[in-house]
Structure 1
Amino acid sequence: MSISDLYSSGKHKQEIGHFSNIVKMAKVNGKISKEEEALLIKSAKKLHITVEEFTAILNNPEKFPLNSPVNYEERIERLYFLTKMILVDGEVDTLQVKLLRKVAIGLHFPFDNVDKVCDEAILLVRNENDLVNFTAAIKKVNSI
């Protein structure tokens, strides 16, 4: 196995972990709306998730670990897409916010600042900020 194979499989594990978190956000209220389903399909394609992986993750997202990226920019991007999933159907569920905060801690956002980061993330996505503006604002809120 070459070093590039190791990297790509590690990267794919991160993508699977990220996708499982997106699925958890969609399923937190017990049902997946049509808007959430469309975003799941789009996310799966972007993350190179196979049909078999998609089905397995959809059936049991808890089985797949987070595998947080090391790169700060990628962690912010993950937060962005998770926040988009919360707001895709126009509703913000308390359980979704609670899960977002847990995932943000798993993404290595500081525990003492995670509420502020997540509240800002929700506000930014609700106001339709793109990833570039979202990243800049989260860095500012997170003081990095």
Structure 2
Amino acid sequence: MSIKDLYTSGFIKRNNGHFAAIVRVALSDGDIVEAEKQFLDRLARKLTISETEYANILENPTAYPINPPTTYNRRLERLFDLVRMVYADLDIKDAQVSVLERIAVGLGFAPANVTYVVQKALALVAEGVDDVDTFSDEIKNMNR
């Protein structure tokens, strides 16, 4: 196996894990509604998720590990995608927030302040922050 194959395999696994985490958030309030489906479709294209893998992930999203990013910036990017899924249908449920907090811990956010980080992330998206750079800057500056 070449280095390229290892990189590609790891890249695909990380994307599949991230996509599966987002599907878990979408499913946490019951069924996936049309707005959530549209978001998932766009994200699947962005993450180069194949149609077969898309179907497999929708069928069993818990079969895919989260694969936490090694950098804080990557964690924030993933959190941003997750929070946008919560807001996709504009109907936020406690179950979604609970799943989001558990996934955030899996991404590497400290359990001691994960509720605070998730609440801040939700507030930012609710306020209309729609780009990852602004989102990341605001989260990084929340303790200053």
TM-score bracket, normalised by the shorter chain, equals over 0.9
Distance in 1, Cα, partners of 2:72 & 2:8: 19
* Partner residue in 2 for 1:13: 13
- Kindly indicate whether the alpha-carbon contact (under 8 Å) linking 1:117 and 1:142 is maintained by their aligned counterparts in 2: no
**Superposition deviation, residue 43 in structure 1:** 0.6
Once the two structures are TM-superposed, the CA of residue 4 in structure 1 deviates from its matched residue by 2.4
1:136 paired with 2:134, answer: no
Amino acid at match of 1:21: A
RMSD: 1.2
Give CA-to-partner distance per residue, 1:60-95, whole Å, 9 cap, x none: 101111111112211100000000000111111100
**Is the 1:113–1:142 Cα contact (8 Å) retained in structure 2?**
no
CA distance in 1, matches of 2:143, 2:10: 27
The amino acid across from 2:19 in the alignment is F
Give, in whole Å, the separation in 1 of the partners of 2:103 and 2:138. Answer: 19
Secondary structure of 1:141's counterpart equals coil
Q: CA shift at 1:142, angstroms?
A: 6.2
SS at match of 1:69: coil
Please give the alpha-carbon distance, in whole angstroms, between the structure 1 residues aligned to 2:76 and 2:8: 21
Provide the residue aligned with 1:102 in structure 2.
102
Matches of 2:77 and 2:66, distance apart in 1 = 14
Structure 2 gaps of 5+ residues are: none
Percent identity over the alignment is: 40
- In the alignment, what sits opposite 1:48? 48
Instruction: Please report how far the alpha carbon of residue 5 of structure 1 lies from its aligned counterpart in structure 2 after TM superposition.
Output: 1.8
Matched with 1:78 is: 78
Moved segments of 4+, more than 3 Å: none
Q: Residue 20 of structure 1 contacts residue 57 of structure 1 at CA under 8 Å; is this kept in 2?
A: yes
Displacement after TM superposition at 1:110 (Å):
1.0
Aligned residue identity for 2:138: A
TM-score, structure 1 as length reference: 0.95
- Alpha-carbon separation, structure 1, partners of 2:18 and 2:134: 21
AA aligned opposite 2:69: P
Q: For the residues of structure 2 that align with 1:37 and 1:16, how far apart are their CA atoms?
A: 16
Q: TM-score, normalised by structure 2?
A: 0.95
Show structure 1 runs of 5+ residues with no match. none
Q: Distance in 2 between matches of 1:44 and 1:8?
A: 16
CA distance in 2, matches of 1:111, 1:28: 20
1:111 positional shift: 1.0
